Amino acid sequence: MHISEGVLSPAILIGGAVVTMAGVAIGLKKVDNENIPKMGILSAAFFVASLVHVPVGPSSVHLILNGLLGLILGWKAFPAILVALALQALLFQFGGITTLGVNTMNMALPAVICYYLFGWGVKSGIKQRVFITAAFASGFCAVLVSSILVGFSLYLTGEAFLPAAKLIVAAHLPVMIIEGIVTAACILFLKKVRPELLEEINV
């Protein structure tokens, strides 16, 4: 769901950059030395997952893992995702520098939303069924909201992009289910081996 250079209008680019700067500022205020390794690992996971693209019409689909980042990092997902997207743009020309703000907003904002919607469900002491459902919902909804934001970014640039915007949302429906399963599996694994990561969730 990387939006390339030269597609979006200046107004959308500026709006996305402003939202991203605000999100990164909030996220950085919440960072301490203990969070940096965790952010680095999750940023790397996001970086690698987003590199495997499957073409679908004029767009392509890939794993995102922003729901997983959102559950564990909260607002810190903004700087983590920004770094990963910047490296992808510089090293592999996925997305672009001018669209970095919009692309980061489209990935990180849903991560933060899912943190507040589903973070309570993956804390220690929650019933297993609720735990798995919340983790799945976070992965599913993060991709759903990201695809909708990408579609709106294109549509607000021009109505000619409406068919492409609809295709992007439709193409990511299978990805939403896969992301939900992967997120649930990862959170279950972390609950067994590193439960302290989930105890830091403060919703």
Residue 175 placed within a domain:
yes
Residue 87 placed within a domain:
yes
The total of structural domains in the chain comes to 1
Asked whether the beta carbons of 2 and 40 are under 8 A apart, the reply is no
What pTM does this model have? 0.89
pLDDT value, residue 201 = 76
pLDDT value, residue 12 = 93
Tell me if residue 33 falls in helix, strand or coil: coil
For the chain, what percentages of helix, strand and coil (3-state, to nearest 5) are there?
75, 5, 20
Residues β-bridged to residue 8: none
Residue 5 placed within a domain:
no
Residue 1 placed within a domain:
no
Which of 12, 34, 57 has the alpha carbon at shortest distance from 200?
Answer: 34
Residue 106 placed within a domain:
yes
What is the CATH classification number for the domain harbouring 137?
Answer: 1.10.1760.20
Residue 133 placed within a domain:
yes
User: CA dist 115 to 70, 77, 190, 203, Å?
Assistant: 5, 10, 16, 8
Place of tokens 């004029």: 58
The pair of three-digit structure tokens given for residue 81, joined into one six-digit string: 């995702």
Which pLDDT tens digits describe the chain residue by residue (203 residues)?
678 888 889 999 999 999 999 999 999 999 988 889 889 999 998 888 877 766 655 555 678 899 999 999 999 999 999 999 999 888 888 878 999 999 999 999 999 999 999 998 887 667 888 999 999 999 999 999 999 999 889 888 887 777 877 877 887 788 899 999 999 999 999 888 888 778 777 76
pLDDT value, residue 103 = 94
| Rounded Cα distance, 112 and 201, in Å | 12
Determine the structural domain holding residue 155 and report its residue range. 10-199
Residue 48 placed within a domain:
yes
Residue 117 placed within a domain:
yes
| Rounded Cα distance, 34 and 18, in Å | 28
pLDDT value, residue 104 = 95
